[in-house]
């Protein structure tokens, strides 16, 4: 059931071929395979963003891997390459206010759902980073460490991260006290110090402990 952890894994563990999981799905006659991942579950501010990416089957993308293993310049280069070659890309965003109304897990899954819903026509099959299914009626398989094991999920992780970072750099122009251009909303010492001094701003996640525990009042 969508929104639940998967109980029947389709895939064995630890393949070395970055296309291994996609090949398994392809062998079951699915042809439009999307990887989906999110960025921004942990920050104190800004949206959670998800990307869904459909790649041409078997394309060689040797530098594409988990976005967390790349520096910003490498991520941007990979993002540009992915956007050039991808068959389809969808982006889903869930705002800080929406996160506060639900919870971060529900928000991350909703961002994934929105990213998939942007792809037209919809994918035949979805490989999801993590243990949870996305609340959408599509054949899918969650894959723990999917961003390290699946080329499609790795591509989605890069697109989501670059898109979210761009959003946070733009927010820095409106809220320069917090230096979102550098910390991207994460709870760095500099960011937490600014929260104590200036209080929170409209894009802070008010239900997150690092924001709630800030001693200063809001603007």
CATH number at residue 104: 3.30.420.10
Residue 218 lies in a domain: no
Domain that holds residue 45: 20-171
**185 and 125 in a common domain:** no
pLDDT greater than 80 at residue 3: no
**146 and 179 in a common domain:** no
Number of domain units in the chain? 2
> pLDDT (tens digit, 9 = 90+) per residue, 6-19?
544 555 555 578 89
What six digits make up the tokens of 38?
């999110």
* Cα three-residue angle 184-71-180, rounded to 5 degrees: 10
Give the global pTM.
0.90
**133 and 205 in a common domain:** no
**196 and 164 in a common domain:** no
**177 and 138 in a common domain:** no
**150 and 45 in a common domain:** yes
**56 and 137 in a common domain:** yes
Q: Which of 91, 94, 150 is nearest to 126 (CA)?
A: 150
Residue 82 lies in a domain: yes
Residue 12 lies in a domain: no
DSSP helix/strand/coil, 112: helix
DSSP helix/strand/coil, 120: coil
Residue 129 lies in a domain: yes
**189 and 102 in a common domain:** no
**200 and 106 in a common domain:** no
**186 and 152 in a common domain:** no
> pLDDT (tens digit, 9 = 90+) per residue, 161-215?
999 999 999 999 999 999 999 999 999 999 999 999 999 999 999 999 999 877 4
Alpha-carbon torsion, ordered 103, 105, 106, 110, to 10 deg: 130
DSSP helix/strand/coil, 47: coil
> pLDDT (tens digit, 9 = 90+) per residue, 89-98?
999 999 999 9
- CB 126: neighbour CB atoms within 10 A? 28
What six digits make up the tokens of 29?
């006659």
């Amino acid at each position: 059931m969508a929104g639940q952890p998967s109980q029947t894994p389709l895939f064995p563990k630890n393949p070395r071929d970055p296309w291994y999981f996609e090949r398994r799905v392809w062998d079951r006659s699915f042809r439009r395979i999307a990887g989906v991942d999110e960025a921004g579950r942990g920050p104190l501010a800004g949206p959670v963003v998800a990307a869904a990416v459909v790649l041409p089957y078997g394309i060689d993308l040797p530098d594409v891997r988990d976005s967390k293993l790349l520096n910003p310049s490498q991520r941007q280069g990979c993002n540009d390459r992915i956007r050039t070659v991808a068959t389809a890309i969808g982006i889903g965003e869930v705002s800080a206010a929406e996160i506060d109304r639900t919870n971060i897990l529900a928000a991350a899954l909703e961002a994934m759902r929105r990213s998939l819903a942007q792809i037209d026509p919809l994918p035949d099959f979805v490989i999801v980073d993590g243990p949870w299914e996305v609340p959408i009626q599509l054949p899918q398989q969650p894959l723990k460490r999917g961003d390290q094991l699946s080329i499609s999920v790795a591509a989605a992780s890069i697109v989501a991260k670059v898109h979210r970072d761009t959003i946070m750099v733009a927010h820095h122009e409106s809220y320069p006290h917090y230096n979102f251009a550098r910390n991207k909303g994460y709870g760095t010492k500099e960011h937490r110090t600014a929260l104590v001094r200036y209080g929170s701003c409209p894009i802070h996640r008010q239900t997150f402990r690092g924001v709630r525990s800030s001693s200063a009042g809001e603007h």
